[in-house]
Chain A
Amino acid sequence: MMKKYELIEHTADIGVKACGETLSGAFANAAVGMFSIMAELGNVVEKESRRVEVNADDIEGLLFEWLNSLLYYFDVEMLLFKRFDVTDFEDTHLTAMCYGEQYDSSRHSLEMGVKSATYHQMEVDREKNCVRVIFDV
């Protein structure tokens, strides 16, 4: 089976290459990859959900906006998401249900802070349904 995502080495930062059966699946897996950099997701249960809607001018912008919107939820509500159900997906628009729970220091271990997704070496491969994104950590 194809791995959902793999981590990319980078001197100062870290990246994710994520693939899916569809491009929207790759976007969802990139989000799983990002949260797995931030925390051990094994202990996270699907207690809460948020509907996240993002818009952008193009597909790279959409990936940037998607991941950074999820970081906003982490900073403001301390939500750790582990599963993403992309319900609506176009080049400039995405709607997803995001499932997870609020960080609980007694059960969760936070690994690394992610400051932001970046455009640096970003790739959206429509043929292979894969994306690559480097994070500032």
Chain B
Amino acid sequence: MSKWGGKLEKVDEYRWRIPESYKEGMRVPGLIYADEGMLKQIIADQALEQVANVAFLPGIVGYSLAMPDIHWGYGFAIGGVASMRVNDGVVSPGGVGFDINCGVRIMRTNLTREEVAPKIKELADALYNAVPSGVGSRGKIKLGAREISEVLAKGSRWAVEKGYGRPEDLQTTEENGEIKDTDPDRVSPRAKERGTPQVGTLGSGNHFLEVGVIDEIYEPDIARTMGIDAAGQVVLYVHCGSRGLGHQVADDYIKVMVKAMQKYGIRVPDRQLACAPVNSPEGKHYLTAMRCAANYAWANRQCITHWVREAFCRVMGVSERDAGLELIYDVTHNIAKIEEQEVNGLNEQLCVHRKGATRAFPPGHPDLPEKYRTVGQPILIPGDMGRLSYIMVGTDTAMKDTFGSTCHGAGRLQSRSAMKKQLNGRDVLERLKKRGIEVRTGSLSGLAEEAPEAYKDVESVVNVAHGAGISKKVARTRPIAVVKG
């Protein structure tokens, strides 16, 4: 693919600027968080062109930002952050993506690797059987036509009221798992039809469940507030999104936005960036429907959490109380949110798009749960299935420099078809097993696509985010079992 031929100015060790002069029509410069080594890979595809294209969008403030896990997406790059003024800016469904509120959560346990390891095969099987996964997976929950609207309005709370999970899970979920200002009537019948059979399903692609072990702790005091006490402690991850419902909401509103651009006289370099003013009927309707899809995703992760807890306790022969299994936190990494932030010394209402990027609010932020008020928002950065994952917290620097945002994962390096050509799923499975990682999946070819080699090394991604100060390392984990969707 074509290489980046444009200008890239070094700001410091971790930041690179695409000047506004690169392309006529850019309203702000682009700013890429990366180290010199990663940059070589980043310029090899079209991610930087996409960062420049996003800078065309009306009302964008500061920079069109790229987090260190940036890679080529469609329209927006994955790992992109863009903030538009609510007053005169736009919202773009492409800046959220098709998998609205794809996100990740992590639970702590009271068990150690030594206790879990002898039963790891059984545990991997139990998790695989407990949570429907794979392409087109169907859930165990039967929803009535009217009930789906309740899911869309209440999110995680719907699930907890139905008996899936604990009331306190809501406090440690971004937006309490129930983002406000929704309107289920703005979600099309098609989207609801797609979503109805899929509540409580993992889906496919990069979605997973993981049993991990705390491998290293960098900030013991902060880790303790999360219930992370020592190396060797077992934790559980859930990563998935809003399934067909979210995809259909994105489809529906991209069509609305393509029309709206003519109406409002907006021009963008890529139709996938289609957008409308935040305050227009089209913009408002998209945001209310998107929030419904976000709530669906939270309800989805909440139901899965319940089954993961059940399976874990059954296999380990412990009660839920003895197992712990408290939800440390749940973050979304595909969303647009209205946030009040400081721009040039003034408080401004912004529509912050995070596409493959995580919110990273600092200590003291009023939106944080009481528990984390003094330490900052927990940030969960899953790596690939063979290597490390990180737990970080938000910082003041993130608030100042990146609209309170940081990276979301390792970031892809190689295409899925390239991986399939190079690797055989069974070999990947065996290789991971030799490294002490039990993998369960319904799709061996999918496993080859998601092999560790497909991803950047998450360590280098996290080191850039940490080095640049937009989030702080707290602990890292290593997988011992993975269920891949």
Contact = CB atoms under 8 A, between A and B. Distances in A.
A113 B136 contact: yes
Given A113-B205, A120-B272, A122-B271, A11 B45 contact: yes
Interface stretch (B11-19, B177-185, B316-324, B411-419): B411-419
A103 B270 contact: no
B292 interface: no
A127 interface: no
B224 interface: no
Given A11-B71, A11-B72, A137-B205, A116 B251 contact: yes
B415 A119 contact: no
A71 B135 CA distance: 12
Contact of A9 (B73, B193, B250, B418): B418
Contact of A12 (B73, B193, B197, B250): B73
Interface in B430-468: 442-443, 445-446, 449
B243 to A, nearest CB: 8
Contacts of B197: 75-76
Contact of A111 (B194, B259, B270, B446): B446
A90 interface: no
26 contacts: A9-B417, A11-B45, A11-B47, A12-B71, A12-B73, A13-B73, A13-B74, A39-B135, A56-B255, A65-B255, A71-B244, A71-B247, A72-B194, A75-B197, A75-B198, A76-B244, A103-B136, A109-B443, A110-B443, A112-B445, A113-B134, A115-B99, A116-B250, A119-B254, A122-B271, A136-B98
Given A11-B413, A61-B258, A75-B244, 19 more contacts: A11-B45, A72-B193, A110-B204, A110-B442, A111-B443, A112-B445, A113-B134, A113-B205, A115-B99, A115-B205, A115-B247, A118-B272, A119-B254, A119-B272, A119-B274, A120-B75, A120-B270, A122-B271, A137-B205
Interface of B: 45, 47, 71-75, 78, 97-99, 134-136, 138, 190, 193-194, 197-198, 203-205, 244, 247-248, 250-251, 254-255, 258-259, 270-272, 274, 412-418, 442-443, 445-446, 449
